[in-house]
Amino acid sequence: MIALWLILAVMTAAAVFAVLWPLARKSEAARGGSDRLVYQDQLREVTRDREAGLIGQAEAESARVEISRRLLAAADAEAANPAAPAPVQASRYRRAAAIVAIIVVPATAIGFYASLGSPGIPAQSAFARVEDPHQGQSVEDLVSKVEARLTRNPNDGAGWELIAPVYMRLGRYADAVNARRKSIALNGDTPARESDLGEALVAAADGVVTDDAKQIFLHAVAGDPNDPQARYFLGLADEQDGNRDAAANKWRALLASAPSGAPWADFVRKELARVNGQDASTQTAADQPAAGGGPSSSDVAAAENMDSEQRAAMIRSMVQRLADRLHGDGSDVEGWLRLVRAYTVLGDRDKAKDAAADARRALQDHPDQVKQIDGLVKDLGLQG
């Protein structure tokens, strides 16, 4: 804080010096020539100092007004009596200008900064402080301020671009989807923005690559065949469709084209190992089956020796167990979300719609949870 005020003091002193310097030179220059020429020279010096950034606009305008006033007075005096000396009051005006520059201007600036500024806050943007919540304001407060700004100016493309990844970090995936769509509409369609939108759609669907997301990733790859984000999710879509070989091939190709030191390469290697049935210790926590209706370790081991029809039958059996549990105890909103997604992945859209309707009835006393169900139904395209 001391360093900040020291810097401000030095800057103020430099500005004051820049204003006083041409005024002080006047008394010496006048001895060797016309007062009018001296004042004209001072006006040019003020203009040069302003263009060079040595003084502010307000100080420059104040100096110009004072010098112009004296220039007119000198021109009148010269016309009346070319040999007449400069008015005695000139020195008084210079002293008054010096007092204003030295005392009044800095005092006014400090007063405005003390009332309107925030000397205790580091020089960071709001989104930089979102990364560091220990700033006296919560992340929610900062996001609310940005949302208020976007409400006032919904066509602020930069604002939507900035807030979308914050929504993703906060787990507000539906809001992230909306922000990504707004950003594309306002800032233009690029493969990177499309991939980000697809990722938000997958997150909103709790990890399911929906048909909408898949089409977006395909369009992104068409625009940029080397887009790693879109290529990974297209492989994940293949896996979720039951085509593990196609997924593995896509991820092998992605790794083969990966630049040296790519930060995402290790993650893709683990995904590839997972679909190839390699050591489960290489899996991340996100790869593990979800609790509450997901397959057990014995189910996974048994599935390795099944053909595609047997494996599909086992998956349907597990989904049915989840459905039976939820119809006995319908308070588990996460379970309902998994059931709707499972039916969608299996291609049973009618069952997915029925499950969503059952979930709404079971959760009718919890409006926020019903909104989660409605949001998933919208993202999966199950309306109507």
Domain that holds residue 19: 2-116
Name the domain count of the chain: 3
The answer to whether residues 81 and 154 belong to one domain is no
The answer to whether residues 150 and 262 belong to one domain is yes
Asked whether residue 81 is assigned to any structural domain, the reply reads yes
Asked whether residue 156 is assigned to any structural domain, the reply reads yes
Q: Is the pTM of this model over 0.85?
A: no
Burial 193-220 (b: 16+ CB within 10 A, else e): bbbbbbbbbbbbbbebbbebbbebbeeb
Taking alpha carbons only, the member of 345, 343, 110 closest to residue 359 is 343
The answer to whether residues 103 and 146 belong to one domain is no
The answer to whether residues 199 and 275 belong to one domain is yes
The answer to whether residues 56 and 156 belong to one domain is no
Residue 239 Ramachandran class (φ > 0 left, ψ -120 to 50 alpha, else beta): alpha
Asked whether residue 50 is assigned to any structural domain, the reply reads yes
The answer to whether residues 57 and 111 belong to one domain is yes
Asked whether residue 34 is assigned to any structural domain, the reply reads yes
Q: How many residues does the chain have?
A: 384
- DSSP class per residue in 150-202: HHH-TT-HHHHHHHHHHHHHHT-HHHHHHHHHHHHHHH---HHHHHHHHHHHH
The answer to whether residues 259 and 141 belong to one domain is yes
| Rounded Cα–Cα distance for residues 287 and 116 (Å) | 51
Greatest CA separation for the chain: 115
Dihedral angle over CA of 202, 205, 211, 214, nearest 10? 0
The answer to whether residues 158 and 268 belong to one domain is yes
Asked whether residue 131 is assigned to any structural domain, the reply reads no
Q: What is the radius of gyration, based on Cα positions, of the chain?
A: 35
Asked whether residue 296 is assigned to any structural domain, the reply reads no
CATH of the domain at 366: 1.25.40
Asked whether residue 186 is assigned to any structural domain, the reply reads yes
The backbone torsions φ and ψ at residue 358, rounded to the nearest 5 degrees and listed phi first, read: -65, -40
The answer to whether residues 161 and 247 belong to one domain is yes
Asked whether residue 160 is assigned to any structural domain, the reply reads yes
Domain boundary among 57, 83, 116: 116
Structure confidence at residue 3 (pLDDT): 57
CATH of the domain at 255: 1.25.40.10
The answer to whether residues 44 and 111 belong to one domain is yes
The answer to whether residues 217 and 339 belong to one domain is no
The answer to whether residues 176 and 74 belong to one domain is no
pLDDT tens, residue order, the chain (384 aa): 555 666 766 777 777 666 666 655 544 444 444 676 777 777 788 777 767 767 767 777 777 767 777 777 766 666 666 544 445 555 666 666 666 666 766 667 666 666 555 555 545 444 444 444 444 556 777 788 888 888 999 998 888 988 898 888 888 899 999 999 999 999 999 999 999 999 999 988 888 898 999 999 999 999 999 899 999 999 999 988 888 889 999 999 998 888 877 888 888 888 888 888 754 344 433 333 333 344 444 444 444 455 556 656 667 777 888 888 888 888 888 888 888 888 887 778 888 889 999 999 999 998 989 998 888 888 888 876
